[in-house]
Every structure is written in C-alpha cells, then in structure tokens.
Amino acid sequence: MAFGGEARQSATMRNKVSIPPDPPADMPNPRFARRKALIVRAAAELINRKGVRGMTLADVASRLDLVPTAVNYYFRRKEDLAAACFLQAIARYNGFLDRSEREATPQASLLRFLHDFADYLAAVDTGDAEPVAVFNDVRTLDDRAVSLAFTNMFRRIRRIFPRTDDSQAARRRRNALTHLLISQVFWAVFWLRNYEPGDYRRMIDRLHAILVHGLAAPDAAWSPAALPVPAEDQEVSGGGATRASFLRAATEMINEHGYLGASVARISARLNVTKGSFYHHNQAKDDLVAQCFDRTLGIMRRSQADAEAATATGLGALATLAASMVTRDVSGESPLLRTSALTAVPEELQYKLTQRFNRYAARLASVISDGVADGSLRPVDTNVAAQMITALINASAELRQWTPGLRAEEAAEIYVRPLFAGLFGGS
C-alpha cells in the first residue's frame, strides 16, 4: 500500500473523512477516545514497520482514510504521536508486571511476566488484541515523559532480581541482568513469529528455562578464550576519512538515531568532513548502510570461526564468541550495528539482510547443538538459544547506559555469564 504525498492528498481530499472538532478535553467524550485510539494504533503499526522517523502524520492519516488535519487535531506533532505510542506500550508491559509482582518467588514472577507477554503477543497475532509499538527506536525520541516512564518500567522489572547489597558492583550487576532480560523479551517479539501463536507459550517456556538454569551444563567451566583483533578494527584505528571510518561513523549514527536519523549530514559531521567528501567515498547512504551490515556480519562470522578454532567444546566456542562481541561493543572502540536497525531500512534491503541474519542464527544453532552433543551445554532448544545469543549481542551496545561505571572488561562477567549460568545463580 502506497502512502500519498501532496498530489495524492489533494486529488483524493473529498473522498477522505474529516473529523469535526470535539468538546474540550475535560468533558467526557467516548468518540474522542475511540478516534484517538485508532490514530495511535495506526501510528504504532507504522513505527513497527518504518521506525519513529519513518512514521509521518500524513501516512497515519492516509492509513485511516482521513485528511491530515484530522490527525493534527489530536496530535500537533509527529513526536507527540510517537510518544503516545510508546507510553501505551509501556502501560501494557506495566500491566504484565502488576500480575507478576504478586508471585512468591523470583522465578515464578519471571514466568508470569513472560507468560502474560506471550499470551498478549499471541492475541495480537490472532486479531484479538491491539498491537503496541516495539521499542527498537525509543531511544531516538527525545521525550522526557517517555524516558521517565521507560526508566520506571526498567526499575519495576529489576525488582524480579533480589537485592543482595547496596554496593555499586551489586547495582551494576542487577542493572545488567535487567537489561539482559528486557532485551530478550523485546527480541522475542520478532522471532516468536516464526511459530504459530498457539505455540508462543511453549517457546517462551523454553526461553524461561534458559534464563533460570542457564545454557551451560552443571559444573561446566567458564573460560572464554581471547580472540585476535579483527582486521576491521585495525583499519579504523588509523583515523581520517577512510572507508573504515565512514563505516564506523555510519554504524554509530544508526545505533544512536535509527536508520532514517542517520543522515548524510550527521555521518559527515561525525567525521568532520563535507557532504562532498561523503559522496566521494560513497555512492549513496543506502550503499553505506548495506556495507555497515556487511561489516557487522563479517566480524560476527569471523569471530565465530575464530572462537570455534580456539576452543574444544560448544560451550567454549559460544562463550568466547559472546564475550568477545559484547566486550568490543561495550568498549565503544569499534561498535557493531544493532540488528534491530533492520526495522526501518527499505523493505527490499530489509528482506535480504534479514535472510542473512537468519542464516547466522542458524549457524549459531549448530554450534549450540555441538555443545549439547559434547555435554558442555544443557539440552536446550537450539533455535531459541541461538536467538537469545543474538539478542544478547545486539543489546550490548546499550549496556553502558543502564550500568553507569561499567568497564568493558567486566561486561562478560556480569552480562554474558548469567545467560550461561542462569540469571538467579550465585555468581
């Protein structure tokens, strides 16, 4: 479905519906609430397809067969509508927490939260519930109310993990565990749809088992190996307007502002070069973005091969890969592109890149299968576990935001190891 520009809007204006003004907001008005809810739903669906910057008021109006001024009556700015979408999503997750907080143990609380999440997602996919915005692009929206609400939701989820003491190290660990958990839930929104809605709970039970008991077999040694510095990192260290520096700058901009927010101007400004210099090194932004994904996938594939070569077990290879990827991301020296950035790229590019990431996840699943066979990993659903490792790596770019004072060298211990030992382990 194409969303029209000015010419299409003027040509079809009399076929669209105009919403008349409503009474003041302090007067009860069910029609106002219903109309507003329809606008928020349409906007949320567009955010989930195109990201925050890709959603426009004109697109929302076209989706509902309304004139653009009708949407303007409810939301004067696109940012206000995006904020309403995210606040609605946060309210939905807080509803899950209302029930989970009544459970007697942390493990039961986590299971209730995950079950309510899975049941809701299944209801959305069968048409029995309204969809809400995913949080991939929430950081690109500079809205104080959304930031505060998201932070408060984070703190509520953190209560699942018992407080051991008030030291800074303990606080960082709880925050890292919370970020790990939230990241798994947000990523599950996408991979669960590889299954039938009736199977969502079953798959979530498998995710819960890994979160509680970990991936590693009982008494397995935690000893990730050190990997060599990738050639891409050595290229970047030289500085200047090189291909490697453009790839790094574009990766940072996409991670910070989303695909659409990573403009040529922003990328050029990050490198302190002109737009002319940008186009001297790159044909177009989409070409550079595709190269960023190529670079990230190349690093991940080579690191996986290096991890397998440097270790003797499936656990060793998986732990080495995850620890290496997370440490490099947290250090900020040469970041990886967040796979969640796929949401907003053009659909023809999105399909090709998604297929490549799916192949990478399938390769991860084979490593996990090797670990189950050699006894170093617990018997787990290899496909679910592969998606969880992918989510772990994908979310590590934001780990430092939630764990102030975190050093790159401790990220593997407090963020990666819990997925192997269990989130409620004694480590």
Helix (H, G, I), strand (E, B) or coil at 237: coil
Give the per-residue pLDDT at 234: 52
State yes or no: pLDDT of 31 exceeds 90: no
The two structure tokens encoding residue 421: 């030992």
Give the per-residue pLDDT at 28: 55
Enumerate the domain spans of the chain. Answer: 231-421
Residues 6+ away with beta carbon under 8 Å from 94: 153, 156
Predicted confidence (pLDDT) per residue in 61-101, tens digit:
999 999 888 899 899 999 999 999 999 999 999 999 999 99
Predicted confidence (pLDDT) per residue in 274-310, tens digit:
888 888 777 777 788 788 888 888 888 899 999 999 9
Q: For 367, phi and psi rounded to 5 degrees?
A: -65, -40
Q: What is the pTM of this model?
A: 0.85
Residues 6+ away with beta carbon under 8 Å from 38: 64
State yes or no: pLDDT of 121 exceeds 80: yes
Predicted confidence (pLDDT) per residue in 311-333, tens digit:
999 999 999 999 999 998 888 77
The percent of residues above 90 in pLDDT, for the chain, comes to 53
- CB 335, CB 401: distance < 8 Å: no
Q: How high is the mean pLDDT of the chain? A: 86
Give the per-residue pLDDT at 427: 37
The two structure tokens encoding residue 132: 């809400």
Give the per-residue pLDDT at 233: 55
Sign, CA dihedral 307-250-358-398, equals: positive
Residues 6+ away with beta carbon under 8 Å from 219: none
- CB 328, CB 248: distance < 8 Å: no
Mean pLDDT within 40-68: 91
289, amino acid identity: V
Q: Is 310 exposed, middle or buried (0-12, 13-18, 19+ CB in 10 A)?
A: middle
Which tops the pLDDT comparison, 16 or 147?
147
64, amino acid identity: L
Q: Is 148 exposed, middle or buried (0-12, 13-18, 19+ CB in 10 A)?
A: exposed
Helix, strand and coil percent figures for the chain, each rounded to 5: 70, 0, 30
Q: How confident is the model at residue 14 (pLDDT cuts 50, 70, 90)?
A: very low
> Could you tell me which of 361, 380, 416, 368 has the C-alpha nearest to residue 207?
380
Q: Which residue has the tokens 């732990």?
A: 319
Measured CA to CA, the distance from residue 107 to residue 161 in angstroms comes to 9
The two structure tokens encoding residue 377: 């990993």
SS (H, E, C) 174-239: HHHHHHHHHHHHHHHHHHHHHCCHHHHHHHHHHHHHHHHHCCECCCCCCCCCCCCCCHHHHHHCCC
Predicted confidence (pLDDT) per residue in 215-264, tens digit:
999 989 898 998 877 665 555 444 456 778 888 888 888 887 777 777 88
383, amino acid identity: N
Give the per-residue pLDDT at 6: 37
CATH of domain 231-421: 1.10.357.10
Which tops the pLDDT comparison, 214 or 49?
214
Predicted confidence (pLDDT) per residue in 198-215, tens digit:
999 999 999 999 999 999
Give the per-residue pLDDT at 113: 98
Give the per-residue pLDDT at 256: 77
Measured CA to CA, the distance from residue 88 to residue 76 in angstroms comes to 18
- CB 382, CB 372: distance < 8 Å: yes
Residues 6+ away with beta carbon under 8 Å from 24: none
The two structure tokens encoding residue 409: 């060298």
Give the per-residue pLDDT at 297: 85
